[in-house]
């Protein structure tokens, strides 16, 4: 089971995610400190930097990859609305993207 640690200026949050799945669901269920707007991989508001555990995510969907490409983001940046966690063990550390 991955453990996701959300880092933010408002305080950190650590959540166990037994089944993996969409990161947006984890954010919603635990009020994670990630900003959202469209929730459909079109605005980039929910971009996060993956500081640790990038391999715990499924590859980006075509829609997510398009948005990340538009912003010229590095490969360690994902969209929280679209990123999906694999059902693996380990720690994932993320924070809202800094411009």
| The pLDDT of residue 22 | 93
Tell me the per-residue pLDDT of 32-67, one tens digit each, with 9 for 90 and over.
999 999 999 999 999 999 999 999 999 999 999 999
Tokens of 35: 């900003």
Domains of the chain: 2-96 (3.10.20.30)
Is residue 99 pLDDT above 80, yes or no?
A: no
Is 26:32 a contact under the CB 8 Å cutoff? yes
- Mean pLDDT calculated for residue range 16-31: 93
Tokens of 88: 């693996």
> How far is the C-alpha of 88 from the C-alpha of 44, rounded, in Å?
26
- pTM of the entire predicted model: 0.94
Share of residues in the chain with pLDDT > 90 (%): 92
């Amino acid at each position: 089971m991955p453990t996701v640690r959300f880092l933010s200026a408002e305080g950190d949050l650590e959540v166990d995610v037994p089944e993996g799945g969409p990161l947006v669901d984890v954010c919603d269920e635990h009020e994670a400190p990630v900003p959202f707007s469209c929730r459909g991989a079109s605005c980039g508001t929910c971009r996060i930097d993956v500081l640790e555990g990038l391999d715990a995510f499924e590859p980006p969907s075509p829609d997510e990859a398009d948005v990340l490409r538009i912003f010229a983001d590095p490969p360690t940046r994902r969209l929280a609305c679209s990123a999906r966690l694999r059902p693996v063990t380990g720690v994932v550390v993320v924070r809202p993207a800094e411009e």
